[in-house]
A and B are shown apart, each in its own frame.
Chain A
Amino acid sequence: MFTARGARGTDAEGPAHGAGPDWEFEAARGALLGRPRVSIRLRLSVGLALCFLLCAAVVWTSQGARPASPAEADLANRVPLLLLALLFLAFVAIAFLFDRALMGPIRRFESYTSRVARGDFSPIGPTRWYRDEFTDLALAVNSMLRELEAQQNQMVQAAKLTTVGTLTSGIAHELNNPLNNIAITTEALMEDFKRLSEGEKWKLLQDIYFETERAGEIVKSLLDFTREERPESVPVSLAEVVESTRRLLHNEMDLSGVRFAAEIPEDLPTVRAAVNPLRQVFLNLFINAVHAMPRGGTLSVRAMRTDSERVCVDVTDTGTGIPAEVLPRIFDPFFTTKEPGKGTGLGLSVSLGILRKYGGEMRVVSEVGKGTTFHVCLPVMETSG
C-alpha cells in the first residue's frame, strides 16, 4: 500500500528514508491511476461553457419581446440583472476552484522537492479522490524518483566496490601468502616424502592445514563485506562491527605500522543500523586513517553512550590531519584529495548517507600535523528479549 508515504508524510521529521522498494512505486502508481479522471481541462471547459450560457441568457433576456404590462416590464428588467449576478458568482467560483486546482498541487510538489533534496525518494501517492494533469506529473516524478533511487543505490554499491578495490593490495594479494605457503609445503612434502620422518610429515601437514584456514578467513572477511543484505534496521553491536572491520584491515595496518586501540565498554547498548552498511562506514574511516598515517601511528576507536538515546564513536588517527579549507568539503560526493586511482571521493559522502539513513550523524574535527577525529553517532536500539 502506498500509505507508507502517508505515514512518513511529505514533511516528515527526522532522517531521510531510503526509497522504498519497487513494489512501493508500483503500489503508488496503481493508487494514482485507480481514481476517476477529472482533468483540469474538463473542469475548465465546463466552467467556461457555464459562463457562456449565462452570457447568452443575459443577452437573450435583455432583448426579449415587448412587455405587455408594467409588472412584466419590471420582471423583464430584473432577469438580466439576476443572470449577471449569477455570472459574477460563476466567475468567482471558477477562480476559487482554479486556485484550488492549481495552487494546492503546486505547493504540494514544492514540498516533494524539498523531501527529495533530503534524500527521501519514496514515491508520491494520491491525496485527492480524483486524478488530473497533476496526477500525470506525479507519475512522471515517481518514475524519475525510481530512477534516482536506482542510481543512488548504484553509487553506494560503486563506493563499496571501490572500497573493496582499495583493499586489493591488502587482501587479494594477502591471499598469496597462505597460498604460497600451502604450495611450497606441499611441494616439500611430495619431494621428500620418503625421506621425511612421521613427525616431520605431520608438521608439514599441520602447516598446510593452518594456512588453508588462514586463506579461508581472508576470503570470508571479504565475502562478509561484499554480501548483499537487506538494509533493514536491526540492533547492531558496535564492538562486533569494529572488530570485524579491523580484521579486514589487519594486514594493511600491520604493514603501515599502525597501532590499533579500541575502547568499547562491554555494556554499550546496540545501535540501530545494518551490519554491512555500518561496516562499510568504519572501513572507510579506517582506510582513510591508515592512508593519513603513511609513517605509522595510532588508530583509536572510543565508543560511549552519550545520552539515553545515542551511542557515539570517536575514530581518531594521529596522521597528517585535514587542512581547514578542505574540511567543509570532505563529505561532498566526488571530493577527494587522494591521488588519482586511490580514492573516488565517494567514501565519506556515502558513509554519511548510510549513517543518516539509520538516524545517525557524523562530524569531523581535524588539526593539520596532529590528526583527525571522526565523531559518529547512532540511535540506541536495544535488543528485545
Chain B
Amino acid sequence: MAAQKRVMVLDDEPIVGERLKPALEKEGFEVEVFTDSERAVQRLAESPFHVLVTDLKMRGPSGMDVLRYVKETAPSTAVIVITGYATIETHHEAEAWGAAKFVPKPFKIQEIARLVREAAGPS
C-alpha cells in the first residue's frame, strides 16, 4: 500500500479540527490539526502536505497568507479554503492565489472529505 497522503487542517475553531480529523483518518489520510496559523506555517516549512484545509480569518497570519505561502513554497499542495466570512471578493482572491476549492461555513464533513479525496488524487 502506498504511503498515506498527508492532510493539514488549520482552523482557530478547535471543534473543526476535532471533527474533521477522525472523518479524514477514516478515509485513510494522515491528518494533522492546527488552531494557530503561525505554528501551522512552521510545520508546513518542515514537511510538505498533500492537502491543506484552512480557515481564512484567524489571529496572526490569515488563511490567505498561509495559502500564498503554500503556493510559493509547495505549489503541488492542494488548498481547500473553509470560511465563515465567505464573500465574492475573498472567493475570487482565494482562487486567484490558487485555492482548489472555496467552501463557505457551515459545511458538511462528508463534503470536505470528498473534496479532500478529489484534491489528493489517486493514492
Identify the A interface with B (CB < 8 A): 169, 173-177, 179-185, 187-188, 191-192, 207, 211, 254-255, 257
- Interface 1/0s, chain B 70-108, versus A by CB < 8 A? 000000000000001110000000000000000011111
Q: A174-B84, A255-B59 known; A188 and B109 CB under 8 Å?
A: yes
Q: Is B117 an interface residue (CB 8 A)?
A: no
Complex contacts, B86 vs chain A, CB 8 Å: 173, 176
B2: min CB distance to chain A, Å:
26
Inside 8 A of A180's CB, which chain B residues have their CB?
Answer: 13, 16, 84, 105-107
Q: A255-B57, A257-B59 are in contact. List 18 more A-B contacts (CB 8 A).
A: A174-B84, A176-B84, A176-B85, A177-B13, A180-B13, A180-B16, A181-B15, A181-B16, A181-B19, A182-B106, A183-B108, A184-B20, A184-B108, A184-B109, A187-B19, A187-B108, A187-B110, A255-B58
* Closest B residue to A175 using CB positions: B84
Chain B count of residues within 8 A CB distance of the other chain: 20
Interface on B for A, CB 8 Å cutoff? 13, 15-16, 19-20, 22-23, 57-59, 84-86, 104-110
Q: How far is the CA of A254 from the CA of B104 in the complex (A)?
A: 21
Enumerate chain A residues within 8 angstroms of B22, measured Cβ to Cβ.
188, 192
Contact in complex: B85, A173 (CB < 8 Å): yes
Name the residue on A nearest B82 (C-beta).
Answer: A180
Cβ-neighbour of A188 out of B19, B84, B85, B106 (below 8 A): B19
Residues of B within 8 A of A185 (CB): 15, 19
Say whether B105 contacts A179, CB under 8 Å.
Answer: yes
User: Are A176 and B105 closer than 8 Å at their CB atoms?
Assistant: yes
Other-chain contact of A183, B20, B58, B59, B106 (Cβ < 8 Å): B106
CB pair A184–B106 under 8 Å, yes or no, is yes
